[in-house]
Chain A
Amino acid sequence: MLILTVNWTNAFIITFLGLTLVFIVLCLLIGLLHIFGIVTNKLSGEQKGTRAKKEDEQYSEAVFEAENAAISMALHLYYADVHDEESDIITIKNINYRYSPWNAKKH
């Protein structure tokens, strides 16, 4: 009975319109962010200018990638549990010789 008393036309309009509007607003933002990204990239590209600078950048990018690879490798080893087994005990091993070469007559 409750279902029959609901104004379903209104409910569906709100649902459909609401969801569509959310998508429209966020799609608009996507478009703007894309344009924004292109403009920023172009501006930063113009600023770089000389070739030497580009080489520097390539070098730093390469270093950056190498760093990333190292970090990823370390994390992979950690998560995959691939590392040396350690006893986790740091101590001086105390060995008691019953006979010492210094006091044992037979030596």
Chain B
Amino acid sequence: MKNSYFSLLIIALFSFVMPLSAQQSSINEEIAISEISIIENQPEADLDVRESIIDFGESTGFALLANNWKFLLMIVVACVLLYLAIVKKFEPLLLLPIAFGMLLSNLPGAGMFNAELFAGGHVHWDIFVDKAGLLDYLYLGVKLGIYPCLIFVGVGAMTDFGPLIANPKSLLLGAAAQLGIFVTFLAANAFGFSPSEAASIGIIGGADGPTAIYLTSKLAPHLLGPIAVAAYSYMALVPVIQPPIMKLLTTQKEREIEMKQLRSVSQTEKIIFPIMVTIIVALLLPSAATLIGCLMLGNLMRECGVVERLAKTVQNELMNIVTIFLGITVGATATADNFLNTNTLLILAMGIVAFGLGTAGGVLLAKFMNLFSKEKINPLIGSAGVSAVPMAARVSQLEGQKANPGNFLLMHAMGPNVAGVIGSAVAAGILLSMLG
């Protein structure tokens, strides 16, 4: 009975194929006719229903999950990250797409992301069209360094460099907070990572997601998943990680220091600043030109006042669209083979060390500067030298107010905070030029 159903199905298929083949060229017709005659001459093979069902069962994702527990574990990890994003609100704008991308790429059999297309650090164009899934196409934006730069245009358009222009010394605190990057680079070397991998791990200490993704996609693309997850998770944890370090390195008296109000900055200064920084940094350090150029382009759009529509688009629509693509594709790189190994645990551990050292570097330099300057700096603003805009500045403000309720450090901390963005982009450019 079942066999007769299958034969009916085959007849229906032939009746569909036959008129189509009649419309094709004469050569195709001949081939089709000869093929049909061959099929007609052969005895029709009986389909084994049981075997067909077993084949179907084996081709489902459930069977593949049962064969490889790592996929199941990755799905659990993705669900935990989704929980952190939705319930605990840990950087949900990025963690949610990252977690969902991770979920998609770890559904066995779906073939949405194929890591082998990017094996060896370059795109295998020869097999790309045949094998690529949706996430592979979207991942090209990361691989070619497009998304992080577009995010930087948006970041620039949302950043006010006024506090930095008013107090240029803040740049020093932004530079000191990059200490975490370089010390972690050394530590990662000691743990057996290659210099390129070590640099990618170290950049987590810059607390700047797009910079971390940009550098890692260039130097160690196979580590992109764990590094992105570490960078964004720790950025969300800035209010937890930084305060103990800040308290440990400062005295109550230092935390109580009130700072003089910043001078007002004219619009001309704000317009010239991005142009000047782009020229200087790009000439000094061509490898940092991409990141700094994009950051400053966004800022110029914001400050010049003549392209308001563009500035709004960059701040909102462009930023949001790119965030979705970036998050999903970066999450997709966290496949079971890439993610479930001891290296991931080491990266997570070293990431938190990098963050802590960056915070300590900024605070300690602020204390050191107080030894020489007449106008005292509250060392708490040094911790904002790690990027994480504006979360790190907010932490400085809160800690400052805990020590002295009349203390308003937010604008003072915004200086080192935006200096940290420039500093981490410069550090990334240096590492790229040395190891790229």
Contact = CB atoms under 8 A, between A and B. Distances in A.
Interface in A22-53: 22-23, 25-30, 32-34, 36-37, 40, 44
Would you call the interface of chain B mostly helix, strand, loop, or mixed?
helix
Contact of A29 (B269, B277, B401): B277
Interface string B394-436: 0000000100011010000000000100110011001100110
Interface in A1-34: 2-3, 5-8, 10-12, 14-15, 17-19, 21-23, 25-30, 32-34
B172 A6 contact: no
B277 to A, nearest CB: 6
B219 to A, nearest CB: 12
A21 B189 contact: no
A75 B410 CA distance: 14
A80 interface: yes
A33 B406 CA distance: 30
A58 interface: no
Contact of A2 (B172, B192, B285, B419): B192
A102 to B, nearest CB: 56
B61 interface: no
A25 B171 CA distance: 10
B140 to A, nearest CB: 30
Contact of B266 (A12, A27, A44): A44
Given A11-B195, A15-B186, A23 B175 contact: yes
Interface residues of A, number: 36
Given A11-B186, A15-B183, A37 B165 contact: yes
Contacts of A44: 266
A97 interface: no
A79 interface: yes
Contacts of A18: 181-182, 185, 427, 430-431, 434
Contact of B406 (A2, A6, A76): A76
A36 B276 contact: yes
A68 B261 CA distance: 10
A1 to B, nearest CB: 9
Contacts of B423: 22, 26
A10 to B, nearest CB: 7
Interface in B218-238: none
B178 interface: yes
Contacts of B195: 7, 10-11, 14
A3 B435 contact: no
Contacts of B179: 19
A19 B176 CA distance: 8
Interface residues of B, number: 47
B238 to A, nearest CB: 21
Contacts of A5: 192
B269 A36 contact: yes
B20 interface: no
B186 A12 contact: yes
A28 B284 contact: yes
Contact of B419 (A12, A15, A19, A26): A26
B430 A30 contact: no
A7 B193 CA distance: 11
Given A6-B190, A26-B171, A33-B165, A14 B185 contact: yes
A36 B174 CA distance: 20
A32 B276 contact: yes
B178 A37 contact: no
Contacts of B284: 25, 28
A37 B165 CA distance: 8
Contacts of A19: 178-179, 182
Nearest to B434: A14
B146 interface: no
A37 B269 contact: yes
B174 A26 contact: yes
Interface in B186-221: 186, 189-192, 195, 198-199
Closest 10 CB pairs of A and B: A33-B168, A2-B192, A26-B171, A26-B175, A30-B168, A15-B182, A11-B189, A79-B405, A18-B430, A23-B175
Interface of A: 2-3, 5-8, 10-12, 14-15, 17-19, 21-23, 25-30, 32-34, 36-37, 40, 44, 68, 72, 75-76, 79-80
16 contacts: A3-B190, A11-B185, A12-B186, A14-B182, A14-B435, A22-B175, A23-B172, A25-B280, A26-B171, A28-B284, A33-B164, A33-B165, A33-B168, A33-B171, A36-B273, A72-B408
